[in-house]
Structure 1
Amino acid sequence: MRTSTMQSKILVASEYGQSHVLEFIERTLPALAEGMARIEVKAAGINPIDARRMTGEFKHADLPQSFGTEYAGVIVEINTTQPHWKVGDAVLGSGYGFTHATVIDVPIANLVHKPENLDWLTAGSLAGAAQTAMTILDEIGPTQSLLIHGASGGVGSITVQLAKERGINVVATASEKNQNYLAKLGATPVVYGAGLTERLKAIHPTPFDASIDMSGNEDATQASLASVKKGGFMGTIAGRKLSSASIHAVWVKRNLHNLQYVVDRVANGSFLWEVSRSYPFEQATQAYDDILNGHTRGKSVLTFD
């Protein structure tokens, strides 16, 4: 363990708005608490919820607020007697308040070792999607058919592959440009938008056992209500107020076993994973703009020198 002070550059916003509200601040980190690791961040995933927190559409914390839920990096200081963690270890995991910063303090209990064959971009973007996807399938329970709305993002990509691994018939919606991508993951792809319910019934005439919405729009809501069997599970991770109370919010449950399960499958090539866009940390405003302006295939990631 080291006890030297360390500076971190942190992305924050003191008000709600578009990306112009983002700014960088320098902060001296406090002495490292017991059971914590100090991580020099190499890559950190960006999720739609980060951008929506910035605008104030989703209010999760008091102002000023910081951002990010996942990362990969190197341990530069540690406060534990556990022998399997040491300074210099490459790790990934979930954050402890924020991860869009050059140096972060996180609980050791949030860490998994980064496999050597995972590049930093992949490692830094997995934790949130992996644990959310596993939470979704745990909430749904045993099922034979699943409808996923807005499935081309990070959570959707992993959810499709986990579901297929369990023998579930998956129909997934995305934009026209991402249809081949969904098919490659193992889903039956459908273009979202007007007429979605009719397209779904043509492809899957019998009601679905369950649905999960990752877009939060009205087309998805109505399609789930019309396409899922009576009493079937209908969930959403979009964090938006929907027009139907029958669609229940699903919130991620952090679980290292679940995270390790997905990391192992990405590392051995069993699961596909795509980072479609990466940005130097200094270009975070552009990254947040792009998240707000369109759906990302796979994940967007901030990188750190």
Structure 2
Amino acid sequence: MLAITQRAYGGPEVLEETEVERPRPGAGEVLVRVAATSINAADWKLRSGQLGEFGSMPLTLGLDVSGVVEELGPGVFEFQVGEAVYGVVLGGANAEYVVVRAHTLGRKPAGIDHEHAAALPAAASSAWQALAAVGAGQRVLVHAAAGGVGHLAVQIAKHRGAHVVATARAVNHEYLRDLGADEVIDYTATDFAEAVRDIDLVLDLVGGAYGTRSLRVLRPNGRYIDLQGSDAEGDPRYERFYVEPAGVTMREISTMVERGLLRVTIDQVLPIADIAKAHRLSESGGVRGKIVVTAWNSLS
């Protein structure tokens, strides 16, 4: 089968199309024929080596998958061959086929295509799980709210009854209000640390120096959830978050999508041949929503 692999860490130019052996699913696993994937910050950070070594070379990246069940491993009864599924994989989705643990998959939401489904798994799962404790009446601050995780987090927090404050460039303010944000702050013109107070939870999708500044806006018993790595580590309110692939999360996301409560924004759709371009776009910042990459298989 075809896959996008890399033999060394580096820039987008290390990504290359190669022929590799098609995997077989083991016990509790599913072989998925990939229709589409999407780019997450973790993809280009892994590619460049910023997150340290990740498996052995040659390496195949890709955390999001939407596709069709091709083969079932022993002990898998909850899915059928030919069924449309989606989910988070721990690498390997930038290929014609990928093996996925069955208990981490969900059925693709009805009413959306594989491109939109592929934009959801890692980003929506991160938002859903990171905001699990948010309840009605709480004040939530989302940084980088127009990005992949951020625009979904705004909707999920609002659905849970929170008052949502979002930081984003001015060009995205109307878009975020349409998604449910109650207040939007232009971080290029206003210091959010001076503009908001009494926040119950900060979801930081920027990291770095945003950490200690975000702590200033929290209530004494508030929570600061960091997805990127920041200078707030060590504070008792600090929590470093990592998404956990889970079928139950995918089912909750599917329900929201099918009920019209959650919509994913796609900035661009590119073919797998342009995956290096997709990495460059994601790495440059300023993407509204997600960049989706269609695989060699046309399934939509």
Same fold (TM over 0.5): yes
Q: In the alignment, residue 27 of structure 1 is paired with which amino acid?
A: V
Matched, 1:71 2:65: yes
Q: Counterpart of 1:128?
A: 122
Q: Which runs of 5+ in 1 are unaligned?
A: 1-6
Matched, 1:233 2:227: no
Alpha-carbon distance, 1:259 to partner? 1.7
CA displacement 1:205-234 (0-9 Å, x = unmatched): x4211211001242x224312211223111
Cα distance in 2, alignment partners of residues 17 and 176 from structure 1: 33
Q: Counterpart of 2:12?
A: 19
CA contact (8 A) 1:45 1:299 kept: yes
Aligned residue among 194, 197, 221 for 2:192: 197
Q: Counterpart of 1:3?
A: none
Q: Which runs of 5+ in 2 are unaligned?
A: none
Q: In the alignment, residue 128 of structure 1 is paired with which amino acid?
A: A
Q: In the alignment, residue 153 of structure 1 is paired with which amino acid?
A: G
Q: Counterpart of 2:25?
A: 32
CA displacement 1:72-119 (0-9 Å, x = unmatched): 101122224555422211111122432111111112222222234111
Alpha-carbon distance, 1:47 to partner? 0.4
Percent of residue pairs bearing the same amino acid type: 28
User: TM-score scaled to structure 1, two decimals?
Assistant: 0.88
Aligned residue among 79, 98, 109 for 1:104: 98
Cα distance in 2, alignment partners of residues 37 and 10 from structure 1: 18
User: TM-score scaled to structure 2, two decimals?
Assistant: 0.89
Q: Counterpart of 2:202?
A: 211
Cα distance in 1, alignment partners of residues 225 and 232 from structure 2: 13
Cα distance in 2, alignment partners of residues 171 and 131 from structure 1: 20
Q: Tell me the number of residue pairs that the alignment of Structure 1 and Structure 2 aligns.
A: 292
Alpha-carbon distance, 1:184 to partner? 0.9
Q: Secondary structure at the match of 1:258?
A: helix
Q: 1:66 to 1:249 in 2, by over 3 A?
A: same
Q: Secondary structure at the match of 1:138?
A: coil
Alpha-carbon distance, 1:300 to partner? 0.9
Cα distance in 2, alignment partners of residues 129 and 244 from structure 1: 23
Alpha-carbon distance, 1:46 to partner? 0.9
Q: 1:192 to 1:40 in 2, by over 3 A?
A: same
Q: Secondary structure at the match of 2:164?
A: strand
> Which aligned runs of 4 or more in structure 1 are off by greater than 3 angstroms?
80-84, 139-143
Q: Secondary structure at the match of 1:133?
A: helix
Matched, 1:170 2:176: no
Q: 1:139 to 1:58 in 2, by over 3 A?
A: farther
Q: Secondary structure at the match of 2:132?
A: helix
RMSD of Structure 2 on Structure 1 (CA): 2.1
